[in-house]
């Protein structure tokens, strides 16, 4: 019985601490006028993270483009280029250049 009361008491105390911390440190802070932000404030942490999607896409597509540069038969090269476009590995705009 003491264990159950201690457990419930601990949950209540932790809940009160979390509620109190939320009141002291609000989750959303008002930054005021966005034009008043300095260069540091406007950059934020999101600009420090590399573009993972671009890195992944380049890593996926690069071997296929290297293989395409080794194809010397025009018919096979045309088929391979069309295959890359239809599978979505290359966009239509990239094929034009």
Per-residue pLDDT tens digits for 56-77: 888 888 898 899 889 999 999 9
Contact residues for 90 (Cβ-Cβ < 8 A; gap 6+): 61, 64, 65, 81, 84
Domain span at 51:
2-27+46-96
Per-residue pLDDT band for 96 (boundaries 50, 70, 90) equals: very low
What was the pLDDT predicted at 97?
47
Q: Is the pTM of this model over 0.85?
A: no
Asked whether residue 33 is assigned to any structural domain, the reply reads no
Residue 89 in domain: yes
How far apart CA 31 and CA 28 sit, in angstroms, is 9
Note the residue count of the chain: 97
Q: Is residue 13 part of a domain?
A: yes
């Amino acid at each position: 019985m003491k264990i159950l009361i201690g457990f419930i008491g601990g949950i209540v105390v932790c809940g009160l601490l979390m509620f109190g911390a939320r009141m002291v440190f609000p989750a959303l802070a008002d930054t005021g006028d966005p034009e008043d932000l300095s260069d540091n404030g406007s950059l934020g942490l999101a600009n420090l993270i590399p573009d993972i999607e671009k890195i992944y896409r380049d890593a996926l597509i690069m071997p296929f483009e290297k293989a395409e540069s080794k194809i010397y038969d025009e018919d096979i090269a045309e088929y391979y280029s069309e295959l890359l476009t239809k599978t979505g590995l290359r966009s239509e705009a990239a094929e034009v250049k």
